[in-house]
Amino acid sequence: MANKIRRNPTTRNVVRTITRISFALAVVPIFVLGATWQAQAQSAKAPYPSMAPLEQYLILDRNDEIALARSAAPESISCDAEVLVLGRHGYETAVQGKNGFVCVVERGWMGPFNGEDAANFWNPKIRGPVCYNPPAARSILPLTYKRTEMVLAGQSKAQIIDGIKTFIKQKLPPLESGAMSYMMSKEQYLTDDDHHNWIAHLMFYTPLMDGAVWGADLPHSPVMLNPQFNGAPEPIDVFMVPAGRWSDGTAGPVR
């Protein structure tokens, strides 16, 4: 008959305590890693969940912003255009224009409110130089003023959307025929990926319509439908056409 090993009760308690501590130490790193992975996944999904400090959206040197805004269009157009710069209370006229065009560096909050394309809405690095022709300056640019006004007032996306809906009903001028803009700057920064300066292109503004009318996004078609407004909430579509060259005349990438 085999001998039974008798253990002191104190010894058994020590063993149990050590086992519990060992299990806890094994679980804690897994929990911590899981929380870390979850936080990283959320950060990757929404890297800019809210507005950054205003200073991050401003360009310190006014002349740098003027030059960047003018780079949106060929010099023959931008040299006589009005130029806006972003200040602490909204866009201000930095240069008076002569030809009816208006050049401005827009920020991320001029992009879509929702969906995949909304990831850069609060991205403080976004710089979108654009030069509006006279019809667009009168009927599209007011949306830039209004969105920016509400953003700088600290409003949420939901509040901005509601404000835009009211603005459309009460104050937004009717969309003018022939409204378009130039976005041909080599210095544009539209996304954090490797192709942050994307391509030089022109944008044409229309009432909401089926993109097929323009042949947009069809195989080998140069026309693209921009999701910038697309009725959410602005009742405007934006069709983009690659320009093939930057505003300084040098060759640029095409889609």
Q: List pLDDT tens digits, range 123-175.
A: 999 999 999 999 999 999 999 999 999 999 999 999 999 999 999 999 999 99
How many other C-beta atoms can be found within 10 angstroms of the C-beta atom of residue 18? Answer: 10
Tokens of 188: 């544009």
Tokens of 102: 């208006």
Asked if residue 45 lies in contact with residue 120, where contact means CB atoms within 8 angstroms, the answer is no
- 22 residue type, one letter: S
CA separation for the pair 218, 165 (Å, rounded) = 31
Tokens of 54: 């205003």
Tokens of 75: 């010099």
Q: Which tops the pLDDT comparison, 29 or 120?
A: 120
Q: Please report, rounded to a whole number, the percentage of residues in the chain having pLDDT higher than 70.
A: 81
